Copies of this chain bind each other. A is one copy, B any other.
Amino acid sequence: MMAAVEPSVIDPTLRDQLDIVIPTIRNLDFLEMWRPFFENYHLIIVQDGDPTKVIKVPEGFDYELYNRNDINRILGPKASCISFKDSACRCFGFMVSKKKYIYTIDDDCFVAKDPSGNDINALEQHIKNLLSPSTPFFYNTLYDPYREGADFVRGYPFSMREGAPTAVSHGLWLNIPDYDAPTQLVKPSERNKRYVDAVMTIPKGSLFPMCGMNLGFNKDLIGPAMYFGLMGDGQPIGRYDDMWAGWCVKVICDHLGLGVKTGLPYIWHSKASNPFVNLKKEYKGIFWQEEIIPFFQQVVLPKEALTVEQCYLELSKQVKEKLSTIDPYFTKLSEAMVTWIEAWGELNAPDKAGADMGPSKVGKKLAAASA
């Protein structure tokens, strides 16, 4: 494993401080299109499904790959908190990364073009979002005040102009929008063609549907809350992994005074998933969320909860207490939240050497660096 690098001057590309996490079940040909933007970064590939399948990674990428056997070996009994046969498994990659920043992207996402026809460097925009403050406490009508050519408008309190540290950068999607199964069924041919040239801070107190397709975050600030829950194999629900993480992340960011941004960058989302399959996965979520969201809108975390871990454990208690009445699944989920934090603590302890943490497969650049 590469050690985290803390340069005295921040490299604005974050080349040594950011990992790209990709959950997948197939060969990663999509990386060819991303080569100019990703080739200098380290990839963490989380292989879902059959661990004996060989995933091909295009040559020249610096990566480590973990399959289910690796996850079981590294986490032991705590591997139960990592979903199987669902892209929720990506959060294992967040856990094993040793970097300060994470960017995660789905393998059906390609490079989008801006209105001038130029390729969008999504990662560069996420880094800009993460390295500049957010404005969760008051709305700026000209959007991101830290962007070139913009500022705070008249009436924006000066004491709030330093903003808040940015924990999350949520990017969007051109082409196939991230719709639920009912909307997919009703509007099978709707495509997102609107490029909105803005980055917004989601105000304090407001929840949002966080999508994991194109997502950056600061692991030091919010990592332990980026748990994608229990989904897929053996679970009554799927396609709510990123939503769950987003609700938890947002209430904790609000409590700790951290910022969450959404908007730019866009990626090109190529494939609509099957709406019938999706409906089966998500139908329980569609009615559960009617109770889950009011729960998250009303959650109050105690003042004593000062770290993300403390907040998350408190949240797990309240989930057990208040959501278990919906379905026994939430008891299991609340316990998995605790297991996740325990596993996180083990892998992210400051002195962790990680003897048995090696991935199954590493790409050549990493191998060379480790030699």
Top 8 A-B pairs, shortest CB-CB distance: A155-B209, A203-B206, A139-B208, A205-B205, A155-B243, A154-B180, A196-B198, A154-B178
Q: Given the complex, which residues of B lie within 8 Å of A154, measured CB to CB?
A: 178-180, 183, 209, 211, 239, 243, 282
Instruction: Answer whether residue A59 sits at the interface, using C-beta atoms and an 8 A cutoff.
Output: no
Which residues on the B side are within 8 Å of A198 (C-beta)? Answer: 194, 196, 198
User: Chain A contact residues (Cβ within 8 angstroms of B): what range?
Assistant: 35 or more
**Bound complex: CA of A153 vs CA of B243, how far in Å?**
11
A205 touches which of B177, B206, B240 (Cβ 8 Å): B206
Q: How many copies does the complex hold?
A: 2
B179 near A240: Cβ-Cβ < 8 Å = no
A199-217: CB near B (< 8 Å → 1, else 0) gives: 0101111111111000000
Report which of B179, B205, B246, B293 forms a contact with A151, defined as CB distance below 8 A. B179
Please tell me if A190 contacts chain B, counting CB pairs below 8 Å: yes
Tell whether A11 is near chain B: CB-to-CB under 8 Å.
Answer: no
Least Cβ–Cβ distance between A162 and chain B, in angstroms: 13
**Which residue of the partner chain B has the closest CB to A172?**
B141
Q: How far is the CA of A205 from the CA of B242 in the complex (A)?
A: 24
A150 touches B205 (CB 8 A): no
Tell whether A34 is near chain B: CB-to-CB under 8 Å.
no
User: Chain B residues with Cβ under 8 A from A195's Cβ?
Assistant: 197
On whether the beta carbons of B290 and A240 are closer than 8 Å, the reply is no
| Residue A138 interfacial (CB < 8 Å) | yes
| 7 additional A-B residue pairs with CB within 8 Å, beyond A153-B177, A157-B289 | A141-B178, A141-B208, A141-B211, A151-B179, A151-B183, A152-B183, A154-B282
> A141 contacts B190, CB within 8 Å?
no
